[in-house]
Structure 1
Amino acid sequence: MNENSSAVTSRQKRGAVSLLLAMVLLGVFPLDVLLPSFPALAAHFHHTPADIALSISLFALGIAFAQLLIGPLSDAIGRKGLLLTGMTVSMVGALGCVVTSDYTVFLIFRVVQALGCGCFVLSQALVQDLFEGEERDRLRILMVTATGIFISVSPLAGTFLQATLGWRGSFWLFTLLAALVWLKAWWFLHNDRPTHRDRPLGFIQSYRKVLGNGEFVGYWLISAFAFACHFSFIVISPLIFMDQLQLAPYDFSLVLLAYGAAYVVGGLVATVLSRRMNPEEQIVAGLSLILLSGLVMLILSSAFTLTITSVLIPMLICTAGTTIARPAATSRAMDIFPHIAGTSASAGSIIIFICGGLISALISLSPTNLQSTLACSFLLLSGVALLLNQWISRRRTHLAGQGVAQPRRP
């Protein structure tokens, strides 16, 4: 992004890490804290829990649309202004959700909030701007691990907010946190613009360049399929645990606490593997665990009645695989076009959220057993991702054999 990126001091890096983790928190917050409030939302708006679950998928699609513009614009005008504007819009959307009693208007304000939350895609671009080499890989593992920690805590926070402030409490707290992060970003970030040497391409040309690269799209699809396994479970988890198994919101939050803990374990394993395996091997290891989780879930759903254990055991395996595969695939994709990191991050996140939103919506609408449908989706998604990774490896080997220059990696 700018010539001073390599000269970031240790103190600035610590500040950058805290800001990035806060952005990760705000990216998770609008989804996971609201989960214990599904019954209350359904009752308030006189809709079914399935309709509320679909609103989560709509939120993901809204984020994807916003990111279409934010990444290329940040390459042209800098990251800071767009980040501050996006957080402001997200706060307006959250406050709008608080004041409405109409389901349609609620969905509109959720989309507004999602459009603002699209600015958090810049976290990947900031990682690319401010860090190099193995630091980037370790930070991306930390960010995925932090996602798991926030996932594990968010339902408990949501249960507390629901009990004390009702479903509106999560939107009030989001607004407060977003305001604090807004102040930190305003204080810490510089709105650096591209140098003449790194001046980005136009909007269409930038997307044509990144999306026309098979390796780039392939790595992001791998990351997207791994994310879709996690996101699909998050979207339908209230339907399984609160609707079918009749768990109270507090008990549901404890279940997700155990699920989120798997992210921490997966992050530790991914950190160890990053020092012993190359990224392609990490991707294969992570996707293989997701494949295994699908097989285990399918067997358990066929042989036993639906229980917390029959769902949670395969999900712990899946989450460990997701935490290993996603950072490696993301780093490989982001390293291909470092000079247009904003566009790269937006293109990748659009792929991720479209895949996550559409796949989770299809699963939530499934007329058959949700557990079996989820298991089959894990098998299909991990299988396709493994084939994609194999295709990329063969393509790179073929190009290297022909003497074709490979994309520069820092």
Structure 2
Amino acid sequence: MDEGRSEPTVKQRRGAVSLLLAMVLLGVFPLDVLLPSFPALAEHFRSTPADIALSISLFAVGIAASQLLIGPLSDVIGRKGLLLAGIAVSMLGAVGCILTTDYVHFLLFRVIQALGCGCFVLSQALVQDLFKGEERDRLRILMVTATGIFISVSPLAGTFLQATLDWQGSFWVFIALAAIVLLKACFILENTRPTTTGARPNIFLPYRQVLCDFDFLSYWLISAFAFACHFSFIVISPLIFMDQLQLSAYDFSIILLVYGGAYIVGGSVAIVLGRYMSPGHQIISGLSLILLSGLIMLYLLSHFALSAATVLVPMLVCTAGTTIVRPAATSKAMSLFPENAGTSASAGSTVIFICGGLISALISLSPANLQSTLGYSFIILSGVALVLNSHINSRAKSLGVSPSVE
């Protein structure tokens, strides 16, 4: 991004890694950690849990809207200032959520918090700016692994915070974590500037360039379909484990904790594969595991009664595949437009967000058996992703370019 920027030292890179992981945490923390507090929030604001769920939807919309602006803007004015401003806005929104006693005002402050949290999309752009080659790929694997772990642990953390600090606890913890990240960003990041000196007439113009590129969009769709498999399970898991199997909230949290372990295993496997396989082959391997998980889920459904094991076993396989696919596909996509890393990250994150949200909504609203719908979805999504990857390779061969290079 900045031609005059010096290469970061080992100490700076380690600091950057810790900063990026903290950004990943703050990107998922405000969503899942609040789920156990729905009844308390409904009582406090004299509303219903369904109304409180609206705050989650508005939060997601706020992040999506914010990151569409933050990504390309960061390519023009730099990353650091936008990141610091976004964190400050998110903290302001969280404070407002704590202090207000009106439900409408709570929704407003929740949106303000989300608009600030949109800055965390810059984590992918910062990876592109600060790291190279295999180190960059390993870091993306680590970030995907951390995302899954944080999502899986959040409900358990939310249960603890609700029991000890009431619903305000999750917001206080968010503010504390955000303050730490703000300080780390101040000291670790440089005041980078864009390589071009002339002002762009339209900061959204790069979106047209990246989204019209077949390979770029295909790689992000592959990553999005893999993420949708994981996200769909997270969305419908309360319906399966708590409604159908009648497990307690604590038991449900423990199951998700075990599920998070699959991200550690998958991340370790992905790091090993990265030493021996090209990104293209990693994508095929990961998608094949997701396809296999769908087949296993359907087999267990047809031969055994519904239980935690019949759902969790195939999901462990699926998650390992997801952890292998997403970093490889993301690295391939981000390498296509390194001069517009912010725009690329925002465009890709939006694609992932839209696919994950729509697909999980369709699965959760399915009138058929949730487990069978989930299994068929894994097969279809991984199959389409494999076709996209094959088409990318065919196009590369026809142009005389090796798809596995990088």
Deviation at 1:212, TM superposition (A): 1.1
Greater shift in the superposed pair: 56-65 or 95-104: 95-104
Is the CA contact (8 Å cut-off) linking 2:76 and 2:203 kept in structure 1? no
> Where does residue 295 of structure 1 map in the other structure?
295
Can you list the C-alpha shifts for 1:197-222, whole angstroms capped at 9, x where unaligned? Answer: 89878423211111111000000111
Deviation at 1:41, TM superposition (A): 4.5
Is the CA contact (8 Å cut-off) linking 1:35 and 1:238 kept in structure 2? no
> Where does residue 235 of structure 1 map in the other structure?
235
Q: Secondary structure at the match of 1:367?
A: coil
Give runs of aligned pairs for residues 1-400 of structure 1, distance below 5 A.
Answer: 1-5=1-5, 7-41=7-41, 55-100=55-100, 105-196=105-196, 202-400=202-400
Gaps of 5+ in 1: none
2:246 aligned partner, one-letter code: Q
Greater shift in the superposed pair: 358-367 or 328-337: 358-367
Gaps of 5+ in 2: none
For 1:364 and 1:39, how far apart are their aligned partners in 2? Answer: 21
Deviation at 1:162, TM superposition (A): 1.4
Deviation at 1:88, TM superposition (A): 1.7
Q: Secondary structure at the match of 1:7?
A: coil
For 1:300 and 1:37, how far apart are their aligned partners in 2? Answer: 34
Greater shift in the superposed pair: 357-366 or 259-268: 357-366
Q: Secondary structure at the match of 1:203?
A: coil
For 1:228 and 1:179, how far apart are their aligned partners in 2? Answer: 31
Can you list the C-alpha shifts for 1:249-292, whole angstroms capped at 9, x where unaligned? Answer: 22111111100000000000000000111111100111111111
Deviation at 1:305, TM superposition (A): 3.5
Count of residue correspondences: 406
Greater shift in the superposed pair: 297-306 or 4-13: 297-306
Greater shift in the superposed pair: 4-13 or 344-353: 4-13
For 1:366 and 1:42, how far apart are their aligned partners in 2? Answer: 27
Give percent identity, aligned residues only: 73
1:116 aligned partner, one-letter code: G
Greater shift in the superposed pair: 263-272 or 4-13: 4-13
Can you list the C-alpha shifts for 1:309-363, whole angstroms capped at 9, x where unaligned? Answer: 1221111111101000000000000000111111111111111111112222222
Deviation at 1:117, TM superposition (A): 1.2
1:251 aligned partner, one-letter code: D
Is the CA contact (8 Å cut-off) linking 1:49 and 1:239 kept in structure 2? no
For 1:4 and 1:252, how far apart are their aligned partners in 2? Answer: 51
1:347 aligned partner, one-letter code: A
For 1:243 and 1:100, how far apart are their aligned partners in 2? Answer: 33
Greater shift in the superposed pair: 112-121 or 188-197: 188-197
Deviation at 1:370, TM superposition (A): 2.3
Greater shift in the superposed pair: 342-351 or 101-110: 101-110
For 2:219 and 2:312, how far apart are their aligned partners in 1? Answer: 28
Deviation at 1:46, TM superposition (A): 7.0
| Alignment TM-score, normalising by the size of structure 1 | 0.91
Greater shift in the superposed pair: 229-238 or 200-209: 200-209
For 1:92 and 1:366, how far apart are their aligned partners in 2? Answer: 38
For 1:396 and 1:50, how far apart are their aligned partners in 2? Answer: 49
Deviation at 1:171, TM superposition (A): 1.7
Deviation at 1:20, TM superposition (A): 0.5
Deviation at 1:184, TM superposition (A): 1.1
Greater shift in the superposed pair: 202-211 or 384-393: 202-211
Root mean square deviation of aligned Cα: 2.6
Given the superposition, is the C-alpha separation of residues 190 and 391 from structure 1 closer, same or farther in structure 2, using an over 3 Å criterion?
A: same
Is the CA contact (8 Å cut-off) linking 1:5 and 1:131 kept in structure 2? no
Greater shift in the superposed pair: 18-27 or 52-61: 52-61
For 1:297 and 1:39, how far apart are their aligned partners in 2? Answer: 33
Q: Secondary structure at the match of 2:193?
A: coil
For 1:37 and 1:326, how far apart are their aligned partners in 2? Answer: 31
For 1:172 and 1:362, how far apart are their aligned partners in 2? Answer: 34
Is the CA contact (8 Å cut-off) linking 1:33 and 1:157 kept in structure 2? yes
